[in-house]
Amino acid sequence: MSSHWLFGIELQRKLLADSIRNRAFQEAFRRIVKNGKSHVIDIGAGTGFLSFLASRFGAKSCSLIECSPEISQMSTILAKTNNIKNLRFYPQHSTEIRKPPLGDIVVSETLGNFALEENIIENMEDAKRFLKPGGTLVPRAVEMFAAPVIGNTIHNELHSGWDHISHEFEMNFELARELSTNNMFVKTIPPSDIFGGESGARAYDYVDFNQKNSSIRHSDVVSWKMDAINIYGFCLWWKCELVPDVFISTSPFSPKTHWDQIYLPLIEPIKCEKHDRLEFETSTDSRYEVGIDVSWRVTQKRGSNVIKTFDSKQSRTKAKIKE
């Protein structure tokens, strides 16, 4: 049995065990599925749970598109087990379908811990080929947030191995430490570790899936007026609107889902003085051929003077997501 298959089925288990996610989609379908009329296209269907939900709410038909043949086959068996018959299965990637079925509702829950890591922008752009005029895309938008991290637990964890290497001869492992820490890490970050609490959040990117979106995104600069405090990294999370007024959030201040937050480390803490300004900027490339490439820049300013800058693009490795 392949490791890819084992990873895939474990992800499906986490999704199905996430009651907050599932209730949100249930409420979304309750509002938009028209009994006996709606045709639903499910892109990245996995086990088929979302299509099963739509069917239970009266969808006339559901087309399940899933690129993993093993998971797609499992979904067909689950459909028979649950006596759901108004389904059609496509064991391929949505971009490979040349004559797409058309739906009144197109859903693609391809969100990662970092909102864009599973190519949701690309998936939703391609999904528009499957949508009837006047149809509904689910989700409709995602907003991304950042906040400075003042707790040092994760920082110490990431640095502990490199800072305490003990050998008979003195050795320098600074390069290894830099390569190790210049990554995005999936972590559960306590609310108490967020500078300014919930009001410390800054929205740094917003994607409206009904608009034309670029896979290469450059955020605006967001900033904070600081206290005398150390900053060890940055916490990222997202808030996704499925349909109007139905949301899922990965905020550390919201009920926990199977998703966690993203931690962007600083190689060295930034020691802020009262009234310093901290600026944060990210850029993301999520094209299919790239996967996910994220860089970030942090600038500490005191008055008009730049005191310190950290730029991940100047490091020796591209950021990858580590769980």
Which range among 4-18, 124-138, 263-277 shows the weakest confidence by mean pLDDT?
4-18
Same CATH fold, 142-322 and 3-107? Answer: no
Question: Does the pTM of the predicted model rise above 0.85?
Answer: yes
Band (7; pLDDT cuts 50, 70, 90): low
Q: What is the pLDDT of residues 249-299, one digit of tens each?
A: 999 999 999 999 999 999 889 999 999 999 999 999 999 999 899 999 999
At 303 the pLDDT is 94
Tell me whether residue 31 is exposed, middle or buried, using C-beta atoms within 10 angstroms of its C-beta: 0 to 12, 13 to 18, 19 or more: middle
- Domain boundaries, given as residue ranges, for the chain: 3-107, 142-322
Q: What is the CATH number of domain 142-322?
A: 2.70.160.11
Determine the distance from the C-alpha atom of residue 95 to the mean position of all C-alpha atoms in its chain, rounded to a whole number: 21
Dist. CA 212–CA 235, nearest whole Å: 28
Q: What is the pLDDT of residues 19-35, one digit of tens each?
A: 999 999 999 999 999 99
Amino acid identity of residue 231, one-letter, is I
At 220 the pLDDT is 85
pLDDT exceeds 60 at position 195: yes
Domain 3-107: give its CATH superfamily: Vaccinia Virus protein VP39 (3.40.50.150)
Cα atoms found within 13 Å of the Cα of residue 102, Cβ hemisphere only: 5
pLDDT exceeds 90 at position 168: no
Sign of CA dihedral 202, 208, 209, 211: negative
Cα atoms found within 13 Å of the Cα of residue 320, Cβ hemisphere only: 8
Dist. CA 188–CA 252, nearest whole Å: 8
**Beta-carbon neighbour count of residue 33 at 10 Å?**
23
Dist. CA 280–CA 94, nearest whole Å: 35
Which range among 140-154, 172-186, 294-308 shows the weakest confidence by mean pLDDT?
172-186
